[in-house]
A and B are shown apart, each in its own frame.
Chain A
Amino acid sequence: MSDHTYSPAQGQSVLWMRLLLWALLILFAIWFLLPAYVVVGTSLKDLEEIRGGSLLALPHELNFSAWKHAWNEACIGVRCTGLEPYFWNSVFMALPAVFISTLLGALTGYALTKFQFRGANMIFALILFGCFVPFQVVILPMAQTLGRLGITNTVYGLILVHSVYGLAFTTLFFRNYYVTIPDELVRAATIDGAGFFTIFRRIILPLSPPIIVVSVIWQFTQIWNDFLFGASFTTGGAQPITVAMNNLVNTTTGVKQYNVDMAAALITAAPTLFVYIVAGRYFVRGLTAGSVKG
């Protein structure tokens, strides 16, 4: 709304408004960046500097030894492997779980919106409520179930858990997105004789990338950052990185190595941060494309 012409007096007030606007924007940016600044700064200092200097002081020199230590030297229990193996555990857990929950969510959302069979809304409501189940509730019965299935303490167990509990969210995303796609498209294709999966492949999927991006980013973040399931259902070498990081942070030898702790936290957060920074734009765009109309 700034492309109008203004009188000088108005121009003055517009200038003030812009200044206020920028002041607010920058103030908030500082608030959002403060923890990141502190964490990154601390991870690059050595222990002397942390204890002696101010929290906000810049590190004297770029010292990456804490990072290296956290990545492949630090001891977790009796194994001194650093976070590296656990990083890969998380990758092998997150990728299949994201894929499965997104695919099932897309199919379910599609079936629920474009084929209004009886009870579709009821089913959707029941699935949606699944978003709100506190995960602590499911630990014990889940443990029994995983035991029966013989996949306790494995990455497959975690994939199953995350796929199931991610389903509620992915269904929500896709269902709300597909609601905005005109039914006529599907109806016309049906008249042309196309079947359920043909329509999905030829018409629905090509329209879906924005919401797929939203679903993938959301799921990836949730699954990568999960701590409770990882901590409850895996031990030792099968643990995801968040659990290993917690163990590492608590593996102290008298003096707390704040720099290593912070570096470990950053390594753990790196993949999701990367996704948000690179694909954040598509995330906002995907939300615009319809998922928020729910």
Chain B
Amino acid sequence: MSRPPIPFTDRIARALPQIVVAPSFAAILFFVYGFIAWTGYISMSKSKMLPNYDFVGIRQYWRLFQMDRWSVALENLFIFGFLFIAVAIVIGCLLAVLLDQRIRAEGFIRTIYLYPMAISFIITGTAWKWIMNPSLGLETVVRGWGWESFRFGWTNDETLAVYALVMAAVWQSAGFVMALFLSALRSVDQDIIKAASLDGASPWKIYTRIILPSMRPVFMSAVVILAHLAIKSFDLVVALTGGGPGYASTLPANFMYEMTFRRNEIGVGAASAMVMLATVAAIMVPYLYSELRGKKHV
């Protein structure tokens, strides 16, 4: 490869990066964008039990937005998404700062905080459902200790069920956020911190003025990863609340599944999927744009 070759192989060698990227890119184009396009078309067809290619315009969207179940699902997504991301970041950040205080047994404690990330949402959901069961779970235990009015049966209360989802999801992901923040804390330039503390800055000041502001990129990464978990949350709902009571804790992913596979409404299911994608795009595209623009010359 090193000596000046004939022009053709030279061209190949030059184009190698593109050639290497091509299969992955082609796969993504087909399996992501091709499928999105297919879903987009189906959302404007009269598909019922099986895909059908008769065009009906925006009728399925019109029907979608009249469905009570869909408004509940969409509203839940915003409540769940916002709280999940916010609480996971606050707790993750707090844990990272706590662990950063040169404590003994850090590795051990870190593992305890991190392990939920290894577990599937199905299992997380099953375990928390078991704990939140009013007669077998924690409620009975704590009442047995003498706290008679203690209530932990969130999954059984239509106004609280969505918060039960948030709690379980935060439990699962806070450790991961902690790991992200902890690694970022560790890579902050130690000299700046030393200089600041020599100047007499309190630890609180050092954290709020120097360290945390320097972690903006990590913060963004955490938001992206958590947002992806939130929008895809499906298994957790199935295992923890089953979308209930009633359909009070259903999320768009569950709605789409129910419509497509259970109610022979593939068209409405596809329309709901397109709305979900549009929501993601509305958040992600500006973010990707600003991030990548700033990095053009890296």
**Is B36 at the interface (CB under 8 A from chain A)?**
yes
**Is A104 at the interface (CB under 8 A from chain B)?**
yes
User: Are A33 and B112 within 8 A (Cβ)?
Assistant: yes
Given contacts A21-B98, A292-B221, contact A287 B17 (CB under 8 A): no
**Is B53 at the interface (CB under 8 A from chain A)?**
no
User: Are B107 and A121 within 8 A (Cβ)?
Assistant: no
Give per-residue flags for A111-129: 1 if the beta carbon is below 8 A from chain B beta carbons, else 0.
1111101000101111111
**Is B253 at the interface (CB under 8 A from chain A)?**
yes
Given contacts A133-B36, A136-B257, A285-B183, contact A55 B117 (CB under 8 A): no
A261's nearest neighbour on chain B, judged by CB, is B126
Given contacts A112-B21, A113-B298, A117-B18, contact A168 B119 (CB under 8 A): no
- Tell me the chain A residues, 76-121 only, with Cβ under 8 Å from chain B: 104-105, 107-108, 111-115, 117, 121
Given contacts A167-B27, A242-B120, contact A138 B35 (CB under 8 A): yes
How many residues on chain A are close to B (CB under 8 Å)?
Answer: 97
User: Are A136 and B253 within 8 A (Cβ)?
Assistant: yes
User: Are B28 and A1 within 8 A (Cβ)?
Assistant: no
User: Are A196 and B20 within 8 A (Cβ)?
Assistant: yes
Residue in contact with A265 in the complex, picked from B32, B123, B137, B257, CB distance below 8 Å? B123
Given contacts A134-B253, A137-B35, A228-B235, contact A28 B95 (CB under 8 A): yes
**Is A209 at the interface (CB under 8 A from chain B)?**
no
Residue in contact with B111 in the complex, picked from A121, A194, A280, A287, CB distance below 8 Å? A280
User: Are A54 and B144 within 8 A (Cβ)?
Assistant: yes
Interface of A is mostly: helix
Residues of B near A225 (CB, < 8 A) are 119-122
User: Are A284 and B110 within 8 A (Cβ)?
Assistant: yes
**Is B244 at the interface (CB under 8 A from chain A)?**
no
- Separation of A126 and B26 alpha carbons in the complex (Å): 11
Give per-residue flags for B86-122: 1 if the beta carbon is below 8 A from chain A beta carbons, else 0.
0000010011001101110001011111111111111
- Separation of A197 and B218 alpha carbons in the complex (Å): 31
- Separation of A113 and B276 alpha carbons in the complex (Å): 31
- Tell me the chain A residues, 226-245 only, with Cβ under 8 Å from chain B: 226-228, 242, 245
Nearest-neighbour CB distance to chain B for A165, whole angstroms, equals: 7
Residues of A near B217 (CB, < 8 A) are 292-294
- Tell me the chain B residues, 1-36 only, with Cβ under 8 Å from chain A: 1-3, 13, 16-18, 20-21, 23-25, 27-29, 31-36
Residue in contact with B113 in the complex, picked from A28, A195, A275, A293, CB distance below 8 Å? A28
- Separation of A272 and B33 alpha carbons in the complex (Å): 31
**Is A151 at the interface (CB under 8 A from chain B)?**
no
- Tell me the chain B residues, 109-166 only, with Cβ under 8 Å from chain A: 109-124, 126-128, 130-131, 136-138, 140-141, 144
User: Are A42 and B130 within 8 A (Cβ)?
Assistant: yes
Given contacts A225-B119, A275-B118, A285-B183, contact A136 B288 (CB under 8 A): no
Residues of A near B114 (CB, < 8 A) are 276, 280, 283-284
- Tell me the chain B residues, 34-91 only, with Cβ under 8 Å from chain A: 34-36, 38-39, 42, 51, 91
- Separation of A22 and B102 alpha carbons in the complex (Å): 12
Give per-residue flags for A42-66: 1 if the beta carbon is below 8 A from chain B beta carbons, else 0.
1000000010001110000000000
- Separation of A46 and B175 alpha carbons in the complex (Å): 32
**Is A75 at the interface (CB under 8 A from chain B)?**
no
User: Are A104 and B23 within 8 A (Cβ)?
Assistant: yes
Given contacts A134-B231, A136-B260, A284-B182, contact A129 B140 (CB under 8 A): no
Residue in contact with B284 in the complex, picked from A105, A129, A224, CB distance below 8 Å? A129
**Is B268 at the interface (CB under 8 A from chain A)?**
no
User: Are B295 and A140 within 8 A (Cβ)?
Assistant: no
Given contacts A55-B137, A117-B17, A198-B1, contact A276 B183 (CB under 8 A): no
Q: A141-B35, A165-B31 are in contact. List 16 more A-B contacts (CB 8 A).
A: A35-B171, A55-B137, A113-B298, A129-B288, A132-B227, A132-B231, A134-B252, A134-B256, A135-B234, A137-B270, A140-B260, A164-B27, A195-B1, A281-B107, A283-B114, A292-B218
Chain A positions near chain B (C-beta within 8 angstroms): 1-2, 4, 21-22, 24-25, 28-29, 31-36, 38-39, 42, 50, 54-56, 104-105, 107-108, 111-115, 117, 121, 123-142, 145, 164-165, 167-168, 171, 179, 193-198, 221, 224-228, 242, 245-246, 249, 258, 261-262, 265, 268-269, 272-273, 275-277, 280-281, 283-285, 287-288, 292-294
Chain B positions near chain A (C-beta within 8 angstroms): 1-3, 13, 16-18, 20-21, 23-25, 27-29, 31-36, 38-39, 42, 51, 91, 94-95, 98-99, 101-103, 107, 109-124, 126-128, 130-131, 136-138, 140-141, 144, 171, 175, 179-180, 182-184, 186-187, 197, 203, 206, 217-218, 220-221, 224, 227-228, 231-232, 234-235, 252-253, 256-257, 260, 266, 269-270, 273, 276-277, 280-281, 284-285, 288-289, 291-292, 295-296, 298
Q: List 13 A-B contacts (CB under 8 A).
A: A39-B123, A130-B28, A130-B32, A134-B231, A134-B232, A134-B252, A136-B269, A167-B24, A167-B27, A196-B13, A196-B17, A225-B119, A293-B217
